[in-house]
């Protein structure tokens, strides 16, 4: 099964979901603005993505400035807490498959994790 953390108002998220649908299989769509991931889920996603919390935060959102998240002294825990409380801050879309995750920017970036771990199609 493939999971996508999706925002239907985001063109990249819509394009990534369409790409996943074209590849078939079962897709679990999580509208993360309505059902945000927990802090523990974000920690797992960050590990699967190979990213830091700062790399996953959308710095262009108004909340980023208003919450003072541009402070370089803030660590992952503070940034993760902000993303849980304000899920709009989470970069999207995130796709999880085969124990790995990828950011759908561009949408084609998720194709590599759709292959089985053994390399078979």
Whether pLDDT at 121 is above 50: no
The pLDDT of 43-51, averaged and rounded, is 97
Q: Residues 6 or more apart from 91 whose CB is under 8 A from it?
A: 55, 56, 57, 58, 103, 105
Residue-range domain boundaries for the chain: 2-114
Distance, CA of 87 to CA of 94 (rounded, Å):
13
Distance, CA of 23 to CA of 26 (rounded, Å):
10
Please give the CATH number for the structural domain made up of 2-114. Answer: 3.40.30.10
Whether pLDDT at 52 is above 70: yes
The pLDDT value recorded for residue 116 is 59
The pLDDT of 92-117, averaged and rounded, is 92
Whether pLDDT at 95 is above 90: yes
Whether pLDDT at 20 is above 90: yes
Specify the pTM: 0.91
The pLDDT value recorded for residue 119 is 42
Secondary structure (DSSP) of 24-82? -S-EEEEETTTSPPPHHHHHHHHHHHT--HHHHB-TTSHHHHHTTTT-TT--HHHHHHH
The question of whether 47 is a catalytic residue gets the answer no
- Catalytic annotation, pick one of 6, 8, 10, 35: 10
């Amino acid at each position: 099964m493939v999971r996508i953390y999706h925002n239907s108002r985001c063109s990249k998220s819509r394009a990534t979901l369409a790409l996943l649908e074209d590849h078939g299989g079962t897709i679990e769509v999580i509208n993360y603005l309505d059902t945000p991931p927990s802090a523990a889920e974000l920690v797992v996603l960050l590990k699967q993505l190979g990213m830091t919390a700062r790399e996953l935060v959308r710095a262009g959102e108004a909340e980023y400035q208003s919450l003072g998240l541009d402070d370089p002294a803030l660590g992952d825990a503070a940034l993760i807490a902000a993303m849980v409380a304000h899920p709009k801050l989470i970069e999207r879309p995130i796709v999880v498959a085969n124990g790995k995750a990828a950011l759908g920017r561009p949408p084609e970036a998720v194709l590599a994790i759709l292959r089985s771990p053994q390399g078979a199609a």
